[in-house]
Amino acid sequence: MELDIVEYELSDEIRRGIDSILQNLFSKTNPELIVLADDAGRIISLKGKTSEELAEFVASLVSGIFGATLEMGKMLSISELDMVQFESKDSDVIIKAVKPRFLMGIMVKGGTAIGSVRLFLKQAAQELEETLSRLELVPKKVVKIDLQTIEDKLRKVMGV
């Protein structure tokens, strides 16, 4: 058996579009962090000073928190739930759904005009929906590898 391992990524055009929208939102709201992820917790893009690993975890939790809230919404017959917000002494966090299956989380310092943040976030979400509606995955790299090789490599890497 032979495997064709194909790695996909967003097209350059889509990536530039996303980056521009997030940068614009960043400039308007001066947040600590903006994360765009899919509803399975895979990070698409981020703005802010944080490590890649931390951002991956944040993306998982953003999707988890939002998904859990949706489940609660179903049980309580809350329809069209598309934004979640929570506040602390230091920071405010808002998570907004971006159709068809993405989520954007933004964290701003406490005392920031949260109404403005929500407004800019909604605008950015609309722009992202337009950009992501043109989403196409493009093949980046194809590697041919047989099953025995993959097993051997995994055993070596993991020391089994």
Distance CA 13, CA 119 (A): 26
> Does 48 contact other proteins by CB under 8 A?
no
Residue number with CB closer to other proteins (113 or 137): 137
20-47 b/e with 16+ CB inside 10 Å = b? ebbeebbeebebbbbbbbbbebebbbbb
Contacts of other proteins in 135-154 (CB under 8 A) = 141, 143, 145, 147, 149-151, 153-154
38 is written with which tokens? 């899919």
Work out the angle between the directed axes of helices 114-132 and 12-29 (0-180°, nearest 10): 170
Q: How far is CA 31 from CA 12, 53, 160, in A?
A: 25, 19, 45
Shortest gap between Cβ of 83 and other proteins (angstroms)?
17
> Does 134 contact other proteins by CB under 8 A?
no
The contact pattern for other proteins, residues 103-122, with x = CB under 8 A and - = no contact, is --------------------
140 is written with which tokens? 């980046």
Q: Which residues contact 82 (CB under 8 A, 6 or more apart)?
A: 96, 97
Residue number with CB closer to other proteins (80 or 160): 160
Shortest gap between Cβ of 90 and other proteins (angstroms)?
20
Contacts of other proteins in 49-78 (CB under 8 A) = 51-54, 56-57, 60-61, 63-64, 67-68, 71-72, 75
Residues in contact with other proteins by CB under 8 A are 1-8, 38-42, 51-54, 56-57, 60-61, 63-64, 67-68, 71-72, 75, 141, 143, 145, 147, 149-151, 153-155, 157-160
